[in-house]
Amino acid sequence: MNNVGDRLRPMTADDLETVLAWRNHPQVRRCMFSSGEIAPDEHAAWFARASVDTDRMLLIFERDGDPSGFVSFDGTAKGGVVDWGFYLAPEAPRGTGAVLGRHALDYAFVDNGFHKVCGRVIGFNRRSAAFHLKLGFQQEGILREQHFDGSCYHDVVCFGMLGVEWLRAERD
């Protein structure tokens, strides 16, 4: 059951410092496709572009009013098939990810009527792969040695969930 104080809201410029600290945390960085540390000016430039891009949604997940995670949807203007990305505040309590995931998928399928949400996970990130499966995503493929991290290649695991699957699961 979701807590009344849990919500997604649009990311604003006031969130930049917090989101950058989360994104640059070593535990978060190591699982990203671009794992280098991001400079504040680079982060501000990204936000300036992304926040006005009608094809993207940048969201902050709050638990009881405290920012606890970041969610993005890309491809929102292209017929309802979107890519998502997310990460939690490193200090977020256990269980926050599952709540963030349910809120994000409700936002995608119930609030916005998207047809499909797609996710990509670097092969060594078993925790994220298990997270997708637990939420009800289907593994749709493996892109063999698709991601080069600067020293070696890694598989990329592709996941997808259809809106009808989420809506059916939420009714059960």
CATH no., domain 7-171: 3.40.630.30
* Backbone dihedral region for residue 31 (phi beyond 0: left; psi -120 to 50: alpha; all else: beta): alpha
pTM: predicted TM-score of the whole model, two decimal places: 0.92
C-alpha angle 101-140-31 in degrees, rounded to nearest 5: 55
Element (DSSP H or E) covering residue 74: strand 66-74
The helix/strand/coil state of 35 is coil
Phi, psi dihedral angles at 110 (to 5 degrees): -85, -55
Residue 76: pLDDT over 50: yes
Tell me, what's the pLDDT at 171?
63
pLDDT tens column, 83-107: 999 999 999 999 999 999 999 999 9
- % of the chain at pLDDT higher than 90: 83
Write down the domain spans for the chain. Answer: 7-171
Return d(Cα 136, Cα 141) in angstroms, integer: 15
Phi, psi dihedral angles at 89 (to 5 degrees): -60, 135
